[in-house]
Structure 1
Amino acid sequence: MVRISDLKNGNYWKHIGMTTIENTEGIIQVIMEINDNLKQFYGNVHGGAIAGLLDTSIAVAINQQLGSEEGAITVEMKINYLRPVNGGTLRAEGRVIQKGRNIIVGQSEIKDDADNLVAFGTATFMITKI
């Protein structure tokens, strides 16, 4: 299993400005503070930044179910954008839907500061040996 601290120390997480919090039920949420570097021309958070948050939150959930000799690589992702957001903080919570021998599928929801659903989606990861 990859430790959350290892993921958080990665260059991508630092570049995007993501961090994690763990709620009282032990569920890990990925948090992204919105800044101007994440916004597109119209002033809203770019869809790619939201997709990255979705992928990351699912990866966090998946990595909690992998063995010490396993890793996972995203092979497919689908996202629905429900509302624009232009400030504050985004919070994503991923979970595993199904784990097989070679493939693992997860889903995530992304919410804003007012607890509005901003986006949701699913991703399929290929389990690899490390």
Structure 2
Amino acid sequence: MPPERSGEAAHFRALESLYAAAPINHLFESRLQIAGPGVARIHFDVDERYFHAAGAAHGTSYFKLLDDAAFYAINSLVTDRFMLTTQFNLLFTRPLSAGPVVAEGRWISGKRRVFVGDARLIDAEGEEAARGTGTFMRSRIALATLPGYSRS
């Protein structure tokens, strides 16, 4: 196996594949990048499909991106089980209009059963549009059993 497909790097690439295979991500066309242990980024282009009636991104877009970024930052540290979001708090700081955004997630604490992660949503001008903090726990679902998660 090439070095980039073994160990930690293989886990990161498998998580990126798992993310891409999730049906919801056919609605929210986005790309996950695991930058390192406990760090994840989601790249997304906001367009009018995600707007509410007043012409800015609906809160579901904020939640989806922030939860996913924090979740995958946490799951980058857990190689055997799929994590579950048990709680997530959002703070909206500015409306998002059309354009590229990046959700940056990171692990804060926890290494056994319950983990804490946070994420921030950065707009095309480099301004923070929202942030969120959540708790995540190990599920009984083995990563290796999920379609899309493959270390080969």
Q: Does residue 128 of the first structure (1) align with residue 139 of the second (2)?
A: yes
Unaligned runs of 5+ in 2: 1-10, 142-152
Residues in 1 aligned to 2:110 and 2:74: alpha-carbon distance in whole angstroms: 9
Residues in 2 aligned to 1:11 and 1:84: alpha-carbon distance in whole angstroms: 26
Per the normalisation by structure 1, the TM-score is: 0.89
Q: For the aligned residues, what is the CA RMSD?
A: 1.8
Residues in 2 aligned to 1:21 and 1:62: alpha-carbon distance in whole angstroms: 13
In the TM superposition, structure 1's runs of 4+ consecutive aligned residues that sit over 6 Å from their partners are none
Q: Does residue 73 of the first structure (1) align with residue 84 of the second (2)?
A: yes
Residues in 1 aligned to 2:34 and 2:135: alpha-carbon distance in whole angstroms: 23
Give percent identity, aligned residues only: 23
Residues in 2 aligned to 1:22 and 1:11: alpha-carbon distance in whole angstroms: 20
More helix by share: 2
Deviation per CA, 1:31-71: give whole Å up to 9, x if none. Answer: 11112111000000001111110001011101110022x11
Q: Secondary structure at the match of 2:78?
A: coil
Unaligned runs of 5+ in 1: none
2:44 aligns with one of 10, 32, 37: 32
Corresponding residue number in structure 2 for 1:48: 60
1:89 aligns with one of 100, 111, 122: 100
How big is the shift at 1:22?
5.8
Q: Secondary structure at the match of 1:124?
A: strand
Corresponding residue number in structure 2 for 1:12: 24
Corresponding residue number in structure 2 for 1:110: 121
Contact 2:16 2:33 in 1 (8 A): no
Instruction: Pick the structure with greater CA Rg.
Output: 2
How big is the shift at 1:84?
0.6
1:63 aligns with one of 62, 70, 75: 75
